[in-house]
Copies of this chain bind each other. A is one copy, B any other.
């Protein structure tokens, strides 16, 4: 289950495209395309981008009760998606991880400490600066992540 052959970099990808990427990934690695896997991918795609395995599982149970999808399958599929670069996990101090679809690079987040909501942003200047810093320190960057904590607009108005 390691060293999966992939190469995605999907920023704003359509679901059909995503699904087809996923399918060819599975085929390439002699894995099987199952209803559960499709449902997990689809739910992740259609939902608010940041979900915990737990909340993803609940969503799926509510929407597809006949499937009786187990939490273990959710975990297994999320690992698969992460390993293949289709999804990324985030872990910000809080317990557990959250998952989002997307490429593995250039992910920055604003996290509201009141309501827990996560807003994404990208800033070219910061990206450049990061590259420069790593070069100066002789470090070979492969990835990075940045989080800013604070209180979002909505919660400030409460």
Number of interface residues of A (CB under 8 A): 35
Which residue in B113, B129, B134, B153 is a CB contact (below 8 Å) of A138? B153
How close is A68's CB to chain B, nearest CB, in angstroms? 28
Interface membership of A144, Cβ < 8 A:
yes
B129 and A123 contact, CB distance less than 8 A: yes
Would A129 and B130 be within 8 Å (CB), given that A138-B153, A144-B146, A153-B139 are in contact?
no
Interface membership of A64, Cβ < 8 A:
no
With contacts A138-B152, A145-B147 known, what are 14 further pairs, Cβ within 8 A? A91-B91, A91-B92, A93-B97, A110-B137, A113-B142, A123-B129, A125-B125, A125-B129, A134-B150, A140-B151, A142-B149, A143-B148, A145-B149, A146-B147
